[in-house]
Chains A and B, each alone.
Chain A
Amino acid sequence: MTSTQPANPTLHILNKPPGHPRFETCLQAIQDCDQLVLTENAVLALADRSVTLPAACKAMKADVDARALNEQTRTGTIDYAELVRLTAKHSRIISW
């Protein structure tokens, strides 16, 4: 990917686990002003010490709980209502 600057802050919704090619591509595409939300198997990133997560990162609580990752407190968690709020707040969304 080139460094063309997107016009707006983007919400990245990632559901692929670390090691999946799209997981890496997503992390590379994230700009400083962007927000990342980890869902489904992407929450395994919380337990993966080799992954550096961006500052603006949240994980879906239901998915964290399902995988017993509650002790992994590298990011805050959000519920579905908060996810909806985030999607409404961002004019650009990429679902990886």
Chain B
Amino acid sequence: MSTLIIVDQPPYGTWAGREALDMVFSLAAFDQPAALLFTGAGVNWLRKQQAPDAIGQKSVEKNLSAAPMFGVEEILADTASCERFGLGPEQLVSGVTLAENLQDVMNAHSNVAFAG
């Protein structure tokens, strides 16, 4: 049984995204197949060179970069949302797979949960 965690909210404003990371890391800790999908304003998680020190927060970009090491299977981003927020290949963090059709991605997982 595979789980898809969807993040559709931007980083830093709320705790929703941290919750998503916590969920996906916990699934990975117990060797449950898990993937992350960023869509809507959530794609802003994936922008390179975030520097949140001045707002007193840890970098979600750096937190997220631990995902492959923990065994998170895939990090996906909705292509249209990336275009909307001006995220070209040069701005995106590495290791992200672009997805054209969200419905297909959701259908590929038996368990889908939005974060926050």
Point out residues on A near B: beta carbons under 8 Å: 1-2, 4, 6-7, 21-22, 91-96
Contact = CB atoms under 8 A, between A and B. Distances in A.
B101 A94 contact: no
B103 A7 contact: no
A24 B5 CA distance: 19
Given A4-B103, A93-B112, 10 more contacts: A1-B102, A6-B107, A22-B8, A22-B114, A91-B110, A92-B111, A94-B112, A95-B112, A95-B113, A95-B114
Interface in B80-103: 101-103
A37 to B, nearest CB: 14
Interface residues of B, number: 13
B64 interface: no
Contacts of A92: 110-112
A93 B114 contact: no
Interface string B35-58: 000001000000000000000000
Contact of B103 (A1, A91, A95): A1
Nearest to A8: B110
Contacts of B8: 22
Given A1-B102, A2-B101, A93 B111 contact: yes
A1 B8 CA distance: 15
B112 A7 contact: no
